[in-house]
Structure 1
Amino acid sequence: MEQNSPKVSIIVPCYNSEKYLDVFFQGILSDSHTNIELIMVNDGSTDHTEDKILSYKPKIDQRGGELIYIKQKNAGAAEAINSGLKVFTGDYLIWPDSDDELINNSIGDRVDYMERHPDIAILLTNFITVHEAQPDTVVEHSAEMFASWNEDTFFKDLLDGNAGVGPPYYIARSEIVLRQIPDRMIYNNRSGQNYQLVLPLAFGNKVAIWRDSKPYYKYYLRLNSHSHTNKKERGKVLTHMQRLGENVCTTVGTIPNMTSDERLFYKKKAIDLQYNLSLNACFEYNARASFMHLFSQLRAQKGTVWKRNRIKWWIWHIPGGYRLVKWLKRL
């Protein structure tokens, strides 16, 4: 084990992840940083996820790290994160997905950056997106997305839709995690975990974007992801987006050190976000009636409809507009 090196806790929710874990563990084992507390949470898997995880324990131990295995009934990724939050002891915290990959010395380089910048609470670094069938072909790089994001207004921008939580490409200082999430528990409704972690950490703390970093996270687009759900499954997607909004609304209501005026202000923005996320999903999956209903509701509440969703409203009122937009996106 590296002498006096910071310990990094890695909380990894796993559900039927057996076929992805060899790639995941390779990213861990190839990293220069060995002082890790790898908390693998088996969220009620029905495949051989448990066997695969435990087969790597000797290799983690041999490098001087620790693998903690937790098994629970299926309760969703957020509850798996909660199981890890209850036991983590590291100086830093990351929470990658089990079907993605840490690359380019992800842990070691990010820890080094945080050690050189002790004022940073949470750091965002570049990631790449690939298709499952072509993992060596980059289809998107985060640098272009990050170019328009503002570190100083990141918390507000998340609620305004001018920044996003994306895949879990973060590293956070544990003392900030424990201060902002003092009960070691985030809101769980089975639809995601990043808003519940990132919003409390970003509020009132220094957020940094390492814009010229290497990509340290490889995000895999998979056929069974929400972004690839077919039309028959669109109801589930719309429910998922509604629940993401619930995550935000509930989380904003529990962030410590907010004044009553701030909480009121940000709760309104959280409600607007909930509606706008759903509007975006309705457009993506051709749910015109639901879009119009939600749009009217938000306007009646004097909420803020994002500019891009106002544009989508007009597109649907132009004969053939929706089909034209979808055709252009396929080009």
Structure 2
Amino acid sequence: MNMPLVSIVTPCYNGEKYIERFFNSILSQEYKNLQLVFVNDGSADNTLKIAKSYKEKFMSSNIDYIILSQDNGGQASALNKGLKDVKGKYLLCMDSDDSLSENYIKEAVNLMENDNTVAYCYGNASCLDNEGEILKNIEKRNSINSKDMFYDIIFHPQKVFFSGYLIRTEFFDCVVKNREIYTGKGGQNVQILLPLAWNYGEPAYINNITYNYFIIKDSHSHSQNTSEKIIEQLENYKKILIATLERIAIPANEMEILKKNVNEYYTKLCFGNAVDTKKAMLIKKYYNELKSQKALTVREKLLKLKYCNFSKGNNFNV
């Protein structure tokens, strides 16, 4: 098997509790021709100290190890910084609290080397708690059409596992201009996968490798959701979608329809969560957005009447 260079880019903010698991996973890979670009995103803990302590271990494994640092700018901003140093034929973007099965990169490269039309590939995933107990296993996507991945990312993100894709760097550079993704709040994976899915369709699948996705209980991103927090997440996701769509070479008429559908879909989701809060001001906000989008249905009109047209003696927060 050919052994082309694989570049791994990993942003990290305050990861002292788990980055050693990540580093050891890279060191344990059966595939050895690796470049690791680790971006310290302004961590205030011992992340940078731990990262530096692994330099000798990576050097003795002949892994090209680069540590970059920046002021805290978020995952997407840190990823952009790291992408500039990618030298590999293949690219893998990983979260710093995750790990890979030992054969992950070897099997993924083998698949890509045997079919140069494959733009990106993935394997199984296990969602685990921080003690390593498996909470959920994710296997092959159930897709029919080549654009299923694209539309699932937009309208059914619960059907998409967003991490662990090995990407052909040449193809990535064709669809992500200057290796710059949108850096708004809310993550970085959509900005990578959406242009790949539009241009190259479904990723290839390998059934004997596993990406281990750890759900950290005290992580901000995995803390308990409230309806207002869900609204914030939906708004951020919508902004990422719109900004990323605008960077893809989609015909103008299709783009107009897509953006209209995205705005209406996520405004409806926000309206539903606003109703759950029973806060009239929030309900009115999204009701008026739907009205301006000419997307109101009888259901939204009735809910607005129920929660906003009430007597002065109501107990709802406004």
Fold in common (TM above 0.5)? yes
Instruction: Give, in angstroms, the shift of residue 6 of structure 1.
Output: 1.4
Match of 2:197 among 178, 202, 219: 202
1:324 matched residue in structure 2: none
1:329 matched residue in structure 2: none
Counterpart code for 1:125: G
Could you tell me whether the CA contact under 8 Å between 1:181 and 1:200 is conserved in 2?
yes
Give the aligned CA root-mean-square deviation in angstroms: 3.0
In structure 1, C-alpha distance between the alignment counterparts of 2:134 and 2:287, rounded to whole Å: 35
Q: Does 1:253 align with 2:249?
A: no
Counterpart code for 1:16: N
Q: Does 1:22 align with 2:20?
A: yes
In structure 2, C-alpha distance between the alignment counterparts of 1:68 and 1:230, rounded to whole Å: 36
Question: Deviations 1:261-299 (Å, cap 9, x if unpaired)?
Answer: 22222222332454356467668xx43444675366336
Q: Does 1:214 align with 2:209?
A: yes
Counterpart code for 2:148: T
What pairs with 1:1-331 in structure 2 (closer than 5 Å)?
Answer: 4-132=2-130, 134-135=131-132, 137-143=133-139, 146-147=141-142, 151-161=146-156, 164-210=159-205, 212-229=207-224, 231=226, 235-255=228-248, 257-275=249-267, 278=270, 286-289=276-279, 290=282, 294=286, 297-298=289-290, 301-303=293-295
Question: Deviations 1:217-245 (Å, cap 9, x if unpaired)?
Answer: 333242324342365xx645532331121
Could you tell me whether the CA contact under 8 Å between 1:40 and 1:68 is conserved in 2?
yes
In structure 2, C-alpha distance between the alignment counterparts of 1:193 and 1:227, rounded to whole Å: 16
In structure 2, C-alpha distance between the alignment counterparts of 1:150 and 1:140, rounded to whole Å: 26
Could you tell me whether the CA contact under 8 Å between 2:30 and 2:102 is conserved in 1?
no
Could you tell me whether the CA contact under 8 Å between 1:149 and 1:162 is conserved in 2?
no
Could you tell me whether the CA contact under 8 Å between 1:151 and 1:209 is conserved in 2?
no
Instruction: Give, in angstroms, the shift of residue 208 of structure 1.
Output: 2.1
Q: Are the structure 2 counterparts of residues 176 and 163 from structure 1 closer, same or farther at C-alpha, using a change threshold of 3 Å?
A: farther
Counterpart code for 2:6: V
Q: Are the structure 2 counterparts of residues 73 and 273 from structure 1 closer, same or farther at C-alpha, using a change threshold of 3 Å?
A: farther
Could you tell me whether the CA contact under 8 Å between 2:11 and 2:78 is conserved in 1?
yes
Question: Deviations 1:138-187 (Å, cap 9, x if unpaired)?
Answer: 1111128x236755422123223266554412111101111101221111
Counterpart code for 1:210: Y
SS at match of 1:203: helix
Paired residues, what number? 300
Instruction: Give, in angstroms, the shift of residue 77 of structure 1.
Output: 0.3
Instruction: Give, in angstroms, the shift of residue 198 of structure 1.
Output: 0.8
Q: Are the structure 2 counterparts of residues 239 and 114 from structure 1 closer, same or farther at C-alpha, using a change threshold of 3 Å?
A: same
* Runs of 5+ consecutive residues of structure 2 not aligned to the other structure: 307-318
In structure 2, C-alpha distance between the alignment counterparts of 1:176 and 1:277, rounded to whole Å: 34
Could you tell me whether the CA contact under 8 Å between 2:80 and 2:180 is conserved in 1?
yes
* Runs of 5+ consecutive residues of structure 1 not aligned to the other structure: 318-331
Larger Rg: 2
Counterpart code for 1:171: L
In structure 1, C-alpha distance between the alignment counterparts of 2:114 and 2:235, rounded to whole Å: 39
Question: Deviations 1:39-93 (Å, cap 9, x if unpaired)?
Answer: 1000000111111111112211222211111100000000001001222111111
SS at match of 1:183: helix
Counterpart code for 1:269: N
Q: Are the structure 2 counterparts of residues 193 and 303 from structure 1 closer, same or farther at C-alpha, using a change threshold of 3 Å?
A: farther
Could you tell me whether the CA contact under 8 Å between 1:143 and 1:211 is conserved in 2?
no
Q: Which range moved further: 53-62 or 259-268?
A: 259-268
In structure 2, C-alpha distance between the alignment counterparts of 1:94 and 1:281, rounded to whole Å: 35
Compute the TM-score of the two structures, normalised by the length of structure 1.
Answer: 0.80
Counterpart code for 1:264: E
